[in-house]
Structure 1
Amino acid sequence: MKVSKSRRLFLTGAATFLALPFLPSAVWTRRAAASNCASPRRFMAWMVPNGMVMNNWTPTTTGKDWKMTPILAPLEPLRKKIMVLTGLDNQKTAVPGRPPGDHGAGTGMLLNMIPVNGHTKDRNRTSIDQVLLPALNSAECGTPSLPSLNIGLQGDNGLCDRTSCDFSRAISWIQGRPQPNIYDPRALFDRMFTGIGDDDGMSRDESARRRAEHKSVLDAVLNDINSLNVKLSAGDRLKLDEYATSLRELEERIDNTGTGVECKVPARPAASPPLNQERGITPSTIVERHTAIFVELMALAFTCDITRSITFMLGNGTSNNDFEFLIGRSTPHHGTSHHQNDKRKLEALTNIDTWEIEQVAKLLGKLDAATDADGSTVLDNTTFYMSSDVADGDSHNHWDMPVLVAGGAGGKLRIDGRHVNYTPDLKFPRGLVGERSDVHTGRVLISILQAHGIMVDTFGEAKGGPLPELMQG
């Protein structure tokens, strides 16, 4: 994958393009021209809504030898490529005065560190995923087909928390403009693999007719795949066959979430059954099914160099995703997060939080299993950042934040399995709400920016420069 788009292997047919994984024996690169190009770097921000059960999240010791907690346990196979940061604080940025609701405030500033209160029209609000684009999509390595992707599970339903709904429904911003999420798996598939999207300037009917003309992505490029196969080594033929099979299976799963059952790209059905707009409840079946598909598509988007920047919202601010599939009874997330120390609710929340981290682990595992051109993994060349709108869902505090980073920015960040605690006076067993610290959460974002060559010491209202614990050298 260390070649530019013009030198990258694509299969095309019927107005469809398909970017392929790295196949050394294909020899389509102009190696001399590409010799100065390292494997591309990527960035992903993943928002989990409603905070975490922090006493079941926080490791009790620091360094590398900490014991996995119940919520973080799914990440054990990836321990050496993650980092848990405890005690980060963005309370004054999220709630500088009389704020909107805490969920809308925490979501609105998540990736830009600019308050919502008093800044609803602030043109300086540009999120880190967009600030990073010049470094990620460099001319040296060529540009991917999509500059960035913004994806959300919940869509435009949900509560807006006493401010513009934009601040609860988007975490990606460009100069004060929210970047809308794609929340239909089929729309995301179309955007990635067929070049069809909702913003093509076509009416819905025109777009539907155009989709109806398209055969399966794999059908459209079948002749090219057969032609390529004869040029590949046995190992690469196997890799290409496995890739094609997985894409076919994924396409069928997406078709089966709607009205069609054939392996085609038909007119896109509704994303989900009608949602309860007043309470913003996302049906349990949507949460379970769509999350799995999004994880696979996001992994493909990075592995196939379709994009190098992704934001993903597992729920909006004030998310009421229903976890009946997990808990065994209807369990809207936001209502449950107002736990009031109820043991039954805290147990359900811990199960929800653990499931959320399982999805993170699946995504990171897929990236770590994919190899870049220089022999490192896609995860090695990815910077992954996860946090939430609040810390504890009942208290709505914006300190003691749950923060997880993974990957390594192509070796520019020191993410090596450590737990770093910025509140050394935190006592164990700890409470649901931890101690305050003077370390701003935004310093993680400053560290990521500097690791990508953007040498700033402030970002939004975050000051203090990068975190030394994250930086190499």
Structure 2
Amino acid sequence: MRSARQISRRTVLRGLGTAIALPWLEAMSTTAALAAPAGAAGKAATAPLRMAFFYVPNGAHMADWTPKEVGTDFTLPYILEPVSAFKDDLLVMTGLTQKNGFALGDGGGDHARALSTFLTGCHPLKTDGANIRVGVSVDQIAALKVGGQTRFPSLELGIDRGAQSGSCDTGYSCAYSSNISWRTESTPMAKEVNPRLVFDRLFTSQNATGTAASRARRDFYKKSILDYVAEDAATLKGRLGITDQRKVEEYLTAVREIERRVDRASNQTGGDLPQIARPSGVPRDFQEHVHLMCDLMVLAFQGDVTRISTFMFANEGSNRSYPVIDVPEGHHELSHHGGDPKKHEKIKRINHLHVSQFAYFLGKLKAIKEGEGTLLDNAMIVYGSGISDGNRHNHDDLPILVAGKGGGSLQTGRHLKVADNTPLNNLYLSLLDRMGAPVDRFGDSTGRVEGL
């Protein structure tokens, strides 16, 4: 007979209009071990593997991105300094190319192609009409194979709301510049930029009407979602060991803290940055917005609400300014630097700022214990851009990082230089294998990346 401390991985805390998934607990490993076939008796279950893709627009200042040394003994250049604390958890990759981002006879439109090909590996149909077509993205291939094991197959997040129609880049539809994730070759997965809507989606009823009603009820009574699951949480804690009790308490505390921050953001008014349309509930401050969205992704991974996500720091071709780092000019404008040292310096600062936000996310993952490792150990996070040098609009030698140990399947702590013009899609094939979602071919792939 099973002990009272053994619980299912599917256990959630329920209340009126509320469902809160739980982090990985020791009691779940015990359950899985006891439920395993006789030949596997005593083998504890492993934490699930997560996959995410972070995108930054307009390329990078490659001279201050690329390490000079190859292998394990390398120094992180200026732009990558913010992730120095995670050096042993990183693969800095050089030599990867997304060939279908090039014009291939279609003329201008490199920004639209950079984003639309980044995860699809396919050349987009040049159109600004309704007949958009590119390809299924790697995150959605994984979601199709393993997404049924979680409440949400995938989670699409971003900072800038984007148009889904009209012309945004030399005859290419705005859908190409705004969407990184594609469910079918003609159906993008629109990202959510409002933290409150993401929070409600993760922790309340899956029914849209139910979500709105439960939010209205909580607002009226000034209650937290945790108030609705307090009784269920108390009952669960009574069944857990001391370590698991602490994990649950830390997780619920994190949920409550993010809920407070989301509420504060929703109460902000005015002060929008120029050129950036802000829906209600979105923080005015760029970094706070990014941090909130990162925290929500971390909670979604920690609670196994989803195992696959994408995050866009901005739409491709973004001309956002960054006064917080003394860059009042637009990013896209600066990316056409023409060799101007002053513009180079400001591009470097923007790149450094973006990597700093990524470091924040990695720090959150690494702080969460899972089994013998951390949530970061059980993840594969790709960070990069579909453009290398913004002035040249080239799509070879892309700036690509891979963070996380992939459940022990990735040898991190290296600068890995692959042969020039190695398809970026070869990396994706390798990651899909590790996610348990293998495919024979993807885009212009020629095989797996060796030496990962």
TM beyond 0.5: yes
Amino acid at match of 1:372: E
Q: How many residues align?
A: 427
Q: Determine whether 1:450 maps to 2:449.
A: no
* Counterpart position of 1:154: 160
Larger CA deviation: 69-78 vs 55-64: 69-78
Shift of the 463–290 alpha-carbon distance from structure 1 to 2, 3 Å rule, reads same
Q: Of 14, 18, 23, which aligns to 1:12?
A: 14
Shift of the 92–24 alpha-carbon distance from structure 1 to 2, 3 Å rule, reads closer
* Counterpart position of 2:215: 211
Q: Of 161, 167, 179, which aligns to 1:170?
A: 179
Shift of the 166–157 alpha-carbon distance from structure 1 to 2, 3 Å rule, reads closer
Tell whether the 8 Å contact from 2:101 to 2:110 is kept in structure 1 after alignment: no
Where does structure 1 lack aligned partners over 5 or more consecutive residues? 261-268, 424-436
Deviations 1:190-225 (A, max 9, x none): 11111357xx3x5xxx97555211342111112222
* Counterpart position of 1:404: 401
Amino acid at match of 2:390: G
Distance in 1 between residues matched to 2:255 and 2:439, nearest whole Å = 40
* Counterpart position of 2:415: 419
* Counterpart position of 1:325: 324
Q: Determine whether 1:190 maps to 2:200.
A: yes
Distance in 2 between residues matched to 1:284 and 1:391, nearest whole Å = 30
What displacement does 1:52 show? 0.7
Distance in 1 between residues matched to 2:150 and 2:437, nearest whole Å = 20
Distance in 1 between residues matched to 2:138 and 2:74, nearest whole Å = 30
Q: Determine whether 1:126 maps to 2:128.
A: no
Tell whether the 8 Å contact from 2:57 to 2:387 is kept in structure 1 after alignment: yes
Q: Of 344, 348, 363, which aligns to 2:346?
A: 348
* Counterpart position of 1:293: 292
What displacement does 1:359 show? 1.6
Larger CA deviation: 305-314 vs 117-126: 117-126
Q: Of 66, 73, 79, which aligns to 1:65?
A: 73
Amino acid at match of 2:317: T
* Counterpart position of 1:432: none
Distance in 1 between residues matched to 2:331 and 2:430, nearest whole Å = 32
Corresponding residue SS for 2:399? strand
Corresponding residue SS for 2:173? coil
Larger CA deviation: 335-344 vs 298-307: 335-344
Shift of the 455–190 alpha-carbon distance from structure 1 to 2, 3 Å rule, reads closer
Q: Which has a greater percent of helix?
A: 2
Corresponding residue SS for 1:256? helix
* Counterpart position of 2:392: 395
Q: Of 20, 23, 37, which aligns to 1:21?
A: 23
* Counterpart position of 2:381: 384
* Counterpart position of 1:369: 367
1:7-156 correspondence runs (5 A): 7-24=9-26, 29=31, 31-33=33-35, 38-117=46-125, 121=131, 125-137=135-147, 143-156=149-162
Distance in 2 between residues matched to 1:48 and 1:385, nearest whole Å = 11
Shift of the 41–347 alpha-carbon distance from structure 1 to 2, 3 Å rule, reads same
Corresponding residue SS for 1:160? strand
Tell whether the 8 Å contact from 2:102 to 2:394 is kept in structure 1 after alignment: no
Distance in 1 between residues matched to 2:126 and 2:390, nearest whole Å = 24
Distance in 2 between residues matched to 1:195 and 1:396, nearest whole Å = 44
Corresponding residue SS for 1:401? coil
Shift of the 285–339 alpha-carbon distance from structure 1 to 2, 3 Å rule, reads farther
Q: Could you tell me the TM-score, scaled by structure 2's length?
A: 0.85
Amino acid at match of 1:237: Q
Distance in 1 between residues matched to 2:18 and 2:30, nearest whole Å = 20
Corresponding residue SS for 1:129? helix
Deviations 1:238-276 (A, max 9, x none): 33333222222211111111228xxxxxxxx99x94863
Tell whether the 8 Å contact from 1:189 to 1:297 is kept in structure 2 after alignment: yes
What displacement does 1:277 show? 6.8
Tell whether the 8 Å contact from 1:284 to 1:324 is kept in structure 2 after alignment: no
What displacement does 1:454 show? 4.5
Where does structure 2 lack aligned partners over 5 or more consecutive residues? 1-5
Corresponding residue SS for 1:320? coil
Shift of the 55–221 alpha-carbon distance from structure 1 to 2, 3 Å rule, reads same
Distance in 1 between residues matched to 2:407 and 2:242, nearest whole Å = 30
Corresponding residue SS for 1:311? strand
Deviations 1:415-442 (A, max 9, x none): 321112246xxxxxxxxxxxxx332222
Distance in 1 between residues matched to 2:228 and 2:329, nearest whole Å = 43
Distance in 2 between residues matched to 1:193 and 1:99, nearest whole Å = 45
Tell whether the 8 Å contact from 2:24 to 2:47 is kept in structure 1 after alignment: no
Distance in 2 between residues matched to 1:102 and 1:464, nearest whole Å = 23
Distance in 1 between residues matched to 2:30 and 2:71, nearest whole Å = 45
* Counterpart position of 1:469: 451
Larger CA deviation: 27-36 vs 285-294: 27-36
Deviations 1:119-160 (A, max 9, x none): 99576711000111254346xxxx211111011111126982
Larger CA deviation: 334-343 vs 120-129: 120-129
What displacement does 1:452 show? 3.5
Amino acid at match of 2:318: S
Q: Determine whether 1:310 maps to 2:309.
A: yes
Tell whether the 8 Å contact from 1:340 to 1:394 is kept in structure 2 after alignment: yes
Distance in 2 between residues matched to 1:213 and 1:5, nearest whole Å = 31
Distance in 2 between residues matched to 1:439 and 1:448, nearest whole Å = 15
Deviating above 6 A after TM superposition, structure 1's stretches of 4 or more consecutive aligned residues are none
Corresponding residue SS for 1:151? strand
Shift of the 7–464 alpha-carbon distance from structure 1 to 2, 3 Å rule, reads closer
* Counterpart position of 1:245: 253
Q: Could you tell me the TM-score, scaled by structure 1's length?
A: 0.82
Larger CA deviation: 30-39 vs 380-389: 30-39
* Counterpart position of 2:3: none
